[in-house]
Amino acid sequence: MKPGSHSLQHARLVADVVSGGRAAARYDAQIRASWQRCLADYALQPGRPRRPAIVRGAELRQRRERAGAIYPIAQIEMRSLCQLFNAPVGVMLTDRDGVILSYCGDPSFAEMAYAAGFREGAVWSEAEQGTNGMGTCLAIGAPVLIEGPAHFLSQNAGLTCCAAPIADGRGRLAGTLNMSGRLPLSAGPTQALVRLAVQNIEHRALLDHHRHDHLLRFHPRREFVSTAGEGLLAFDADGIVLAANRSALDWLGRTQHAEVCGAPVETLFGCRLERLLALSRTPTHAQPLPRPGAGLLCYGIVQAPPSAASAAGRPLADAERETLRDMLERCGWNVSLAADRLAISRRTLYRKLERHALQRYRSD
C-alpha cells in the first residue's frame, strides 16, 4: 500500500459510516456518534497527522495535586495491571480533561507508545485526538473499547484501547484509566480488569478523602465488609451522606449518586442515627443492619473519625454490650428469658438493645 493510501482509505471509511453508508453497520452507535462529533464539533480530519498537545511543568504538577488520592493510588493499580498482562501494553491515568497524569508500560510497547504520543502531560481528549479510549470515555462518561480502525485518526488505527471512567464519591467524573496495546485485547477480560482497577481506585480514594468523616461500610455477606466490593457511605456528624461508592448505590437499589448524597443516612436504613453510630463501638465486627425497604439483609460497621473515636472510648459500655450479646445468644435470643436472667425488665433490655444496636436477623 502506497504511503498515504491508508490515511485516504480510512478517511473514506469515516465519511461512509457517518453518512449512513454500507460500512455503518460494522460500527456501533457509540463509535458513529463519536466520529460525528469529531467532524462536526471538533473539525478534525481523519487522515491528517496530529500530535497531542503537551501540558508541562507547574501546570502538570497542579493537575496531579487536584487529583488528590486518586493519583498515588492509581499508580499502584497501573503497575499491577502491567505485571498481570505481561504483554506489549501501556496503562494511563488521565484527569477529567484528558491530560495523562501518569503512564507505565511494558518495555516492548515503549516504541509504539512514543510514536503514538502516550506520555505524561499529553492531552488525549476527544477534541484533541478524535475517537480514542481516554477521550471518548470522558466524552460519554462510560467504559469504552476502541479497536483498530474504530479510532477516528488513521494514525491510531494500529491501537486497541480500553478505558473506564473514574468518579469521585458524588459521582462527578474525575478522570479515566486506560489500557492500550498494539495487539487485539480480549474484550471481556480486559474490560473487567480495567473496571476492577477503577473500583479499587475509587474505593480507596473515597476512604482517604473522607477519613475525617463517619464511614459506613456494608455488604450482604459479612465476610465481604472491608473489601473493595463493599458498599461505602461517608456521612457527617449530623448523619447527612457526603459521598458513596458505586457498590453502595447497587446494594441500596439506587442508580444515581444524587439519590443518596445529601440524604440522611438513617432514612436509607430505616433506623435512628444513634443506632448506626453505635456500630462504631465494635468497628472490627460487622453487625446486621435493618432492611432498607424490601432490600437485602446487610452487615456493616461504622468507622468514626479519629476525634470521635477517641472521645467514644467507653470500656464500660463495650463490656455491657458484650454481656448482653452473650446472654442473648445463650438464651436463643428469647428476650423475656434473657431479661429474667439479667434481673432487669423486658422494657429495660429492649432499651439497651436499641442503644447498643444489638439485633438478630434471619436471612430467610
Beta bridge partners of 234: 215, 243
* Section 343-359 average pLDDT: 81
Task: Output the nine-digit C-alpha cell for 200.
Answer: 479499587
pLDDT above 50: residue 362: no
| Count of other CB atoms within 10 angstroms of residue 228 | 16
C-alpha Rg value of the chain to the nearest Å: 26
For 182-233, how does the pLDDT look when each residue is reduced to its tens digit (9 = 90+)?
A: 867 777 788 999 999 999 999 999 999 999 999 999 999 989 998 889 999 9
Answer whether 162's CB lies under 8 Å from 85's CB: no
Burial of 230 (0-12, 13-18, 19+ CB in 10 A): buried
Beta bridge partners of 216: 233, 302
Least confident of 15-24, 145-154, 298-307: 298-307
Q: What is the predicted pLDDT for the residue at 250? A: 92
> 24: number of CA atoms within 13 Å, CB side?
14
Q: Quick one: pLDDT band at residue 295, thresholds 50, 70, 90? A: low
Coil/strand/helix, residue 122: strand
Phi/psi of residue 119, each to 5°? -150, 155
Phi/psi of residue 351, each to 5°? -65, -40
| Count of other CB atoms within 10 angstroms of residue 3 | 6
Per DSSP bridges, beta strands 173-181 and 160-167 are antiparallel
Answer whether 125's CB lies under 8 Å from 165's CB: no
CA–CA dist 269, 280 (Å, integer):
16
For 163-177, how does the pLDDT look when each residue is reduced to its tens digit (9 = 90+)?
A: 999 999 999 999 999
CA–CA dist 148, 129 (Å, integer):
14
CA–CA dist 236, 231 (Å, integer):
17
CA–CA dist 323, 333 (Å, integer):
13
Which pTM does this prediction carry? 0.81
Q: How many residues appear in the chain?
A: 364
CA–CA dist 209, 73 (Å, integer):
12
Q: What is the H or E stretch that residue 92 is in? A: strand 89-95
Task: Output the nine-digit C-alpha cell for 287.
Answer: 453487625
Q: What is the H or E stretch that residue 191 is in? A: helix 187-209
For 58-90, how does the pLDDT look when each residue is reduced to its tens digit (9 = 90+)?
A: 999 999 999 999 999 999 999 999 998 888 999
Using the structure block, give the residue that is written with the C-alpha cell 453508508.
Answer: 21
For 232-247, how does the pLDDT look when each residue is reduced to its tens digit (9 = 90+)?
A: 999 999 999 999 999 9
- Report residue 247 CA to chain centroid gap: 8
